[in-house]
């Protein structure tokens, strides 16, 4: 069975600095998708970035980028120029290509931004 | 566009009571999902639907029922509320299976069973 592990329950970063959140996963599938979701105190789940496993190029969205290492089954999120509004829980998620019930979330990393 | 709308936002139930959590989306998405999020945990899939009239179990379906009579609506029913069902419930929708479409989430329903 697939698993998603986020080994950092909490992290802190100074405003304007860069922080990297870790995520590893385990799967025997070759085709899948990986996501990072942000959950601010409002509780709404907001998609930050996604990566298709068949793409070697790392996804980027403005200040957010990923380091996708397929062989190592690693999918870390880098936030550059951290802003106060980035403070939230961040969830790494795995989605199988062919089965909608295979959507697995990690336990999350709470990110604090220090002014 | 309202996106995914969940009602109510908060509810307290007594053990054994029943209730329905409502979810509606206006994006004409085929796929809809119900998750629960326990404190300090990620989301676990309860049920999902790939279209009107079609539903299937997720990882933690026991104690819940769903129906999908229209594309827009996907209510979740708790028949006999138990303390273990205290959680935050999220409804989500997405457009298509198999091409990695992200899911759009509602704001969640905080449910306490006392």
Average pLDDT of the segment spanning B71-88 = 95
A104 near A4, Cβ under 8 Å?
yes
Q: Which of the four pLDDT bands, split at 50, 70 and 90, describes residue A30? A: confident
Distances (CA, A) of B13 to A106, B35, B87, B88, B110: 29, 19, 12, 13, 11
Q: What is the pLDDT, as a whole number, of residue A102?
A: 62
Handedness of CA B64, B19, B79, B109 (dihedral sign): positive
Residue A47 has pLDDT above 90, yes or no: no
The alpha-carbon gap from B114 to the nearest alpha carbon of chain A, in Å, equals 22
User: Does the beta carbon of B40 lie under 8 angstroms from any beta carbon of chain A?
Assistant: yes
SS3 A52: strand
- Average pLDDT taken over every residue of chain B: 90
Say yes or no for a CB contact (<8 Å) between A108 and B42: yes
Phi and psi (nearest 5°) for B110?
A: -90, 120
Q: What is the pLDDT of residue A100?
A: 59
Q: For residues B4 and B93, is the Cβ–Cβ distance under 8 A?
A: yes
Query: In chain B, which residues have their Cβ closer than 8 Å to the Cβ of A106?
Result: 42
Interchain CB distance below 8 Å, A103 and B105: no
Please state, as a whole number, how many other Cβ atoms lie within 10 Å of the Cβ of residue B27: 14
Within 8 A of A45 by CB-CB distance, chain B residues are 43, 90, 92, 103, 105
Q: Nearest chain A residue to B110 by CA: give it.
A: A43
pLDDT over threshold 50, residue B98: no
Nearest to B85 by CA among B103, B108, B61, B111: B111
pLDDT band, very low/low/confident/very high, at B41 (cuts 50, 70, 90): confident
| Closest residue of chain A to B42, computed from CA coordinates | A107
User: Cα dist. B40→A2, A12, A78, B99 in Å?
Assistant: 20, 17, 22, 30
What's the pLDDT score for residue A16?
97
Q: Look-up: residue for tokens 């999020």?
A: B37
Say whether pLDDT at B68 is over 50.
yes
Please give the pLDDT value at position B61: 95
Residue B77 binned pLDDT confidence (cut-offs 50, 70, 90): very high
* In the block, residue with structure tokens 């990882």: B59
pLDDT tens-digit series, residues A5-26: 999 999 999 999 999 999 999 9
Residue B83, classed as helix, strand or coil, is: helix
Q: Is B98 within 8 Å of A97 when comparing Cβ atoms?
A: yes
For residue A36, pLDDT over 80 is answered with yes
The tens digit of pLDDT for each residue in A58-84 reads 999 999 999 999 999 999 999 999 999
User: What pLDDT does A106 receive?
Assistant: 92
CB–CB contact B48 A101 (8 Å): yes
Share of chain B above pLDDT 90, in %: 69
- Best to test chain A binding among B36, B94, B103, B106 (most A CBs inside 10 Å): B103
B5: pLDDT confidence band, cut at 50, 70 and 90? very high
B39 near A CB under 8 A: no
Structure tokens at A82: 């951290």
CB-based contact, A50 to chain B, within 8 Å: yes
């Amino acid at each position: 069975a697939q698993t998603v592990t986020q080994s950092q329950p909490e992290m802190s970063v100074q405003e304007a600095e860069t922080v990297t959140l870790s995520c590893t996963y385990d799967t025997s599938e070759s085709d899948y998708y990986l996501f990072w979701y942000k959950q601010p105190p409002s509780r709404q789940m907001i998609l930050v970035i996604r990566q298709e496993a068949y793409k070697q190029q790392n996804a980027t969205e403005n200040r957010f980028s990923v380091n996708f290492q397929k062989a190592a089954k690693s999918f870390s999120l880098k936030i550059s120029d951290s802003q106060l509004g980035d403070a939230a829980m961040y969830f790494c998620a795995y989605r199988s290509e062919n089965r909608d019930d295979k959507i697995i979330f990690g336990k999350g990393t709470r990110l604090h931004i220090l002014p | 566009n309202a996106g995914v709308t969940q009602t109510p936002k908060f509810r307290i139930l007594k053990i054994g009571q029943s209730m329905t959590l409502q979810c509606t989306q206006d994006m004409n998405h085929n796929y809809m999902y119900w998750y629960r999020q326990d404190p300090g945990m990620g989301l676990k899939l309860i049920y999902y639907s790939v279209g009107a009239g079609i539903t299937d179990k997720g990882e933690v379906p026991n104690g819940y029922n769903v129906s999908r009579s229209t594309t827009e609506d996907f209510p979740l029913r708790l028949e006999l509320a138990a303390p273990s069902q205290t959680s935050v419930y999220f409804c989500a929708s997405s457009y298509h299976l198999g091409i990695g479409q992200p899911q759009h989430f509602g704001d969640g329903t905080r449910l306490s069973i006392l």
